Amino acid sequence: MSVRVIDQAGIRQLVEKLQQEAKVVAPHRREGRDQWAFQEVTDPDLITLEYTTTTLPPKQFAWPPRETLIRARLGEGPVQAEPVVEVEPLVLFGVHPCDIYGLQSLDIAYCHEHVDPNYVARRQQMRIVGVDCVPDEWCFCASMGTASVDSGYDLFLTPLDGEYLVEVGTEAGEAMLEGITTREPTAAEIKEVKRRLAKKLDQDHKIHTDYHNLPLRFAGAANSPVWEKHAERCYSCGTCVLTCPLCMCFDVLDEIKLDLSETRRDRVWDGCMLEPFAEVASGENFREERFQRLRHRHFRKYAYLFTKFGRPYCCGCGRCVRQCLVHIDPVEIINDLLEEHEKGGVTHGA
């Protein structure tokens, strides 16, 4: 696939072309704040391609916070439930490598064993234009191997002094660039992209081991005091799970009209850091304590799903610690567990 250079006018031209074929969603700065959100593009000049991170990840466009899965009319005869799949062609423009990794990870989870038709239909209608970023103090993508990606996008932009190097990832990406003004990159520009990645990998916020070691390091850490140490500040607000690009738990709610004429089944985001998440009908709660919920969340990301799918279910985007009121930090938690392991203080058990 080819590599080109595009300037700001070319970016505008590209966005306008894509808008003729699909809804285009891109990062926008929230007025008066250092916060960014993916929003539908109305004016290409309002897009911010150089941003730290969005508050909510782009998973919301593949898997909305609330969606109807089935509808049924109730009446005299047998009930016929109709599946509901609401989907439209969409371009996610300006997605960071960590978030591309996040979407790829959801693809694996949602197509494993039971293929989720709603999720798959949206992903099939989705095109991705990635963009490289500069990590802030909470990012730890270098530790998780997600500072760069070599797939999962149609086009990928790397900023180059007012212009962008464009890497084409798919045939759809080649088609996107047809008719758009671009030029050949120089050898110096290719070198600059490599230098930029090397600089990005030099992060202070990092875990003190190769991430491949994490499932092994978590084994036997269930009874560690590290969980209580970090969980004692937790408000159980659930912000960390709702802002995480790789958290994917949901609840299913049935709503029936009072006159019993119609029913609807909705799927809504849910999260294991919320107290009622593990509560069952009898009122029993399998993870009643905050440390149990914090432990479960981390075991799931760095051990259970890692072992099941062969990749960590954390991309190091830092949203959980950045958005957490008390900055409960997976990097600190993991490094505490590693230190405990080094000291031989690992406890085996439940």
- Chain residues that interact with ligand SF4, rule: CB under 6 A: 234-240, 243-246, 273, 301, 314-320, 324-326, 328, 330
Strand partners, 83: 70
The first and second tokens of residue 130, run together, are 């990635």
Taking the complex as a whole, how short is the minimal distance between the CB of residue 340 and ligand SF4, in angstroms? 20
Strand partners, 156: 130, 167
CB of 10 or CB of 57, closer to ligand SF4: 57
Place of tokens 């494993």: 112
CB of 116 or CB of 329, closer to ligand SF4: 329
Sign of CA dihedral 254, 255, 260, 263: negative
Strand partners, 193: none
Taking the complex as a whole, how short is the minimal distance between the CB of residue 327 and ligand SF4, in angstroms? 8
Taking the complex as a whole, how short is the minimal distance between the CB of residue 195 and ligand SF4, in angstroms? 26
CB of 10 or CB of 330, closer to ligand SF4: 330
DSSP designation for 112: S
Taking the complex as a whole, how short is the minimal distance between the CB of residue 17 and ligand SF4, in angstroms? 32
Task: State the CB neighbour count (10 A cutoff) for residue 248.
Answer: 21
**CA-based radius of gyration for the chain:** 22
CB of 185 or CB of 312, closer to ligand SF4: 312
* DSSP H or E segment with residue 160: strand 155-160
Taking the complex as a whole, how short is the minimal distance between the CB of residue 314 and ligand SF4, in angstroms? 3
CB of 24 or CB of 242, closer to ligand SF4: 242
Q: In whole angstroms, what is the distance from residue 166 CA to residue 331 CA? A: 32
CB of 74 or CB of 326, closer to ligand SF4: 326
Taking the complex as a whole, how short is the minimal distance between the CB of residue 157 and ligand SF4, in angstroms? 22
Closest to 177 measured CA to CA, from 7, 9, 10, 8 = 10
